[in-house]
Structure 1
Amino acid sequence: MEYYEELGLSRNESRVYETLVEHGIMGSGEISGKSGVSYSRIYNVLDGLIEKGLVKVVPEKTKKFIPSSPESLIKLIDYREKRLEKAREKAKELKKFYEVKEKNPVTMVFGRKGFHRVIRELKDVDKYSYSIKWTSSYEPEWVGYAERSIKKGKDHKTLTRYDKETEKDVKKWLKINKNIRKFENEGIAIDIRDNKEVLIGLIKSNVTLLIKDRAFCKLMRQLFLDSYEKAEKIT
């Protein structure tokens, strides 16, 4: 019966179909008795088999049922095999895409949708996140993440544009993270995440880059820390 389940039949449907093939035309009570499927469920099971084309209703005074030829099962198997083959081809395409992505250290996307897709794929940092911000938007999702991460002892440092446009949000961020300093910025957002990856947003070009290269990460980390040490604190 487990073979039938591979074709989408329930255990009860398998029992009823085998019973009908073995005994031929029967009423619902007989089917229930011989298959072991309770009478309270027998009509639901029969309806399912009728929908799958495996059982037919015999137009007699007392409603009876007859199985379709097992050829119907073979057709169902053929249909499943075609679907599985299409799924296999799709999986192969995804595998190629995955392998290219893993080998290629640089991902480039465009627009806000692309940016958010990349953000969703990022994992939490293990040790540190050093960022250069353009707007310092006080988004609830980002605020929540920063609070949880800082509470776990992870190092968050930020260099941000600080002017009339950003002042209000920056002061909100300072209540969560004291390690925020002023930085002249003409439209770049950067997040250096551990020694694993660097996220770069080219604001005016609406382009996002994700670079997974350890040597590049280490270089960016050092450049950031040098700039951070020289940057003016926000009071």
Structure 2
Amino acid sequence: MGSFFNIDPLSEKYAYQSHYNFSEDCVINSRELEGLEKVFFQNVLFKDERFQKAYQAERQTTGGKEFSNTLSSQNKINVLYTNFSNTNATGIAPLINNKKEFSDISKDFKIGVSAKEYDKISENGSKKIQLIGVSFGDKKTPAFDVAATLNHEEVAHSTEVIKKNEEQSNASGHKSYYGEYRETSPEDKAVLTDKKYEGTKANINLKELEQILEKPEK
């Protein structure tokens, strides 16, 4: 199941995989990024049209493409997208090193992913997990807001982590994304309109999302 008829043209980069398989033979609960490396989704996200719309839009941004390329260039970290609750944050992006950390984060943020699923996603503990969580809040939250949160968690807090295979501080991620050290994130409206954010990764990516999705209310 999930196999190609022809050899994958990128097969030499992924000697640990078959030449023919798609999504690393995990087609039920994972998806390939741009036809490259697989990512995993909590089941509820597969069924959420708003998330899928946001996810597909975010994949088209500059930051989304860089994240995809970064993920596909390594084989030490797998990515899990999940919904979460029990916090005021709209997004989280912890790097999970082992099953205990996974269990603690699952309880703290109520992400609803079992230990058995951890074994599958981490490939029995052989890989770390970069968790990217989105808290939907109100079901009427626009797809733009969900996509903006995804972009923030991927670009500010995950791309460099995957490149270096180590956690980074919240402030340093924001420095790269917003152009300034800060512990909290500014409003999307400010990123789009305030001149001090012009040309930053955040500004560029949110403007791209504006063009792909409906514009957020000003």
TM-score (norm 1): 0.21
Larger Rg: 1
Pick the structure with more strand per residue: 1
Give the TM-score, by structure 2 length.
0.22
Considering fraction of residues, name the structure with more helix.
1
Greater relative CO (CA pairs within 8 A, separation 6+): 2
